Amino acid sequence: MSNEYEIDDPSFVRVTAASHPTTIGDPIANAHSALDAIKQYAGSEIIVFGELSLTGYSCGDLFAQDLLLEKSIDALELLASQTHDQVVVVGLPLRVENKLYNCAVLIAQGQVQGIVPKQFLPNYQEFYEARWFCAANGSEAKSVSIAGMGEIPFGIDVLFDLDELVLGIELCEDLWMPIPPSSLQAAAGANLILNLSASNELIGKADWRKTLIRSQSGRCLAAYAYASAGPSESSTDVVFGGHCLLVENGAVLAESERIGQSGCTWLEHSQATADVDLQKLTHDRQLSNSWQIASQRCNAMNPIPYRRISIVRRQVSDGSQRQVNARPFVPKEGPALHARCAEIFGIQCASLTQRLRKLPADMKLNIGISGGLDSTLALLVAAKTCQSQGWPSSRIHAITMPGFGTTDKTLASARDLMQHLEVESEEIDIREMCFDTFRALQHKPFGMGIDGLDLDAFVDRLGELPPDKLNDLVFENVQARTRTLILMSRGFVLGTGDLSEQALGWSTYNGDHMSMYNVNTSIPKTLVRFLVRYLAKEEFQGPASQCLLDIADTPISPELLPPSSEGEIQQETEASIGSYELHDFFLYHMIRFGCGPKRILQLASLAEFSQPFAEEEIRQTLTIFLKRFFGNQFKRSCVPDGPKVGSVSLSPRGDWRMPSDADSAAWIAALEDAEKSL
């Protein structure tokens, strides 16, 4: 699919936080500098510049000069006259009722729409703002009259309403307070906070600043655009770095260069631009009852009710710049990769440790090993758990149970893995038991009579069947349930099924679907493969490492149907139901953010998958996902205990409570409608 689509979804809004070159004390020059920058960001709906950007933050006692204040108004008028479709927010000093305020001014559609003064003025160490400005506290005039611009809303109680988008504004120091104004603004409905700042660069300050912005964005369940003054400000005593950030609910969407970062010694311009997803923020606010309670309390305590300034929203971007991760469950490459993988594996091991500590010390941990991904990860968790607790690896009783679909390759992998991990191992061929069950049930596998056949003759006949005849659910279910019977007859069973299989119902009910505990229950298939590869490199060395890498490269299959005449896997799961990469993508966006089919398709069009998928393949796979997801809730309603690892879980005792007889018709119809409109 295309990497861009025409935006017809108002929940996306492109925002730019920017720092432009500043001429200290020359508002007209700064207005032209801002206009040049605005042209560069023509696709952004919202543009916010740094604190006092029309004069320069570092004017000092020049703020007391009438000429500077008058020229600031002229510069504002110039800027407003040439700002039409975009919303632009700039900083300037403004005299109101004989008091001077450090203000943020919002311009849209050729007019100044509102002005927000700064509430908290730093007056310590290198800062002296109280020398020039008055701190706003809500007692100010509710509007100001500016020649040529009319009466303009003014105050700390102003929000800007653009339909789904509600803007709140705070200035620099406001953010660093115990209760920032943005907390109250978010409680009153703001979902995008703009911060005009002049934060100087000191050793370590940038990391703390970034942490603060991420934290505030996450607490407010909002997007946060932060624009700081740049190095063209006066360097008499300090240096400003031009640090710009765009954060959404704690996640950094975009970040500019800044002075002192990676050898950066000068910046003419700096900016951070990204598409904010308002629908995600709305979903999280709707889902969090704690946030709703906090909002109600904040609103009740706030002595100054907010005024909403309505502005007609005009979308100006011609395509999305939203970065959509094609593998949202898989950790990104980078410095944090090792820590994230270790964290996931550690959660799995800790959960199993706690469960095993409640069992008799001599009780075996039984696990079925197929030579595939899921059972491999579960066995690695068990092995590490025993190692960390000082329990002998022989406490793990690993059983491989080859059946009619088992290939030489996966059987060899299962044997090698059990040997390399030095666990107690056993091999039980289940074919005779299954064959006897077919007889007892008077079942004819694939329509083939079995009277008078022994097992060897039956297996030979299976090998002669053409692929289009290999469709027999009883044949598959008997094998899965036989394996579960063997395992559970031995005692405590460690489950291996993953989150993706739960979502799709790709398991045999009361077969591989059931166990006494499942450490993989919230690990999706794409993450299982990734973790096995990671553990092969970082945790398990020597021959075990190569064995794990071989398993990670093996096609995913339940191996319940006979292999090909060449002994290769013939029943590949992804050939039947579609790519797990797509299914995991659908699962994440549907469950985590409540996305409907149209939105999922739009997001998929922006994602760079590991291989190109045709539009029709994505839509067909989404249809399969929706039908199977709704049709298999009955299996999820009684899954075993297991740890939640990520933000998505389908546990009926935790995140996902859904009636087993819910209907997918509305979702399928929405998908069909989306196919017509996209």
Q: Which amino acids are annotated catalytic?
A: 51, 118, 172
Paired sense of beta strands 99-108 and 111-117, if any: antiparallel
C-alpha to C-alpha distance for 231 and 225, rounded to whole angstroms: 19
Residue pair 578/403 in contact by the 8 Å Cβ criterion: no
Residue pair 72/92 in contact by the 8 Å Cβ criterion: yes
Contacts of 274 (CB under 8 A, 6+ apart): 14, 15, 246, 248, 253, 254, 321, 322, 323
Which tokens go with 96? 């109101």
C-alpha atoms less than 13 angstroms from C-alpha of 254 in its C-beta half-sphere:
24
C-alpha to C-alpha distance for 673 and 191, rounded to whole angstroms: 29
Phi-psi label, residue 524: left if phi above 0, alpha if psi -120 to 50, beta otherwise: beta
Residue pair 649/573 in contact by the 8 Å Cβ criterion: no
C-alpha to C-alpha distance for 479 and 485, rounded to whole angstroms: 10
- For 594-649, where are the alpha helices, taking DSSP H only? 597-606, 615-631, 633-636
C-alpha to C-alpha distance for 301 and 589, rounded to whole angstroms: 36
Q: Residue 634: helix, strand or coil by DSSP? A: helix
Which tokens go with 677? 């409109």
Measured torsion, CA atoms of residues 584, 587, 589, 594, in degrees rounded to the nearest 10: 180
Phi-psi label, residue 609: left if phi above 0, alpha if psi -120 to 50, beta otherwise: beta
- Sheet of 251-255, strands arranged across: 251-255, 244-248, 223-228, 192-197, 165-171, 158-162, 307-310
Nearest to 328 by CA among 595, 511, 121: 595
C-alpha to C-alpha distance for 501 and 373, rounded to whole angstroms: 12
Which tokens go with 46? 């919202």
C-alpha to C-alpha distance for 38 and 121, rounded to whole angstroms: 29
Element (H, E) at 307: strand 307-310
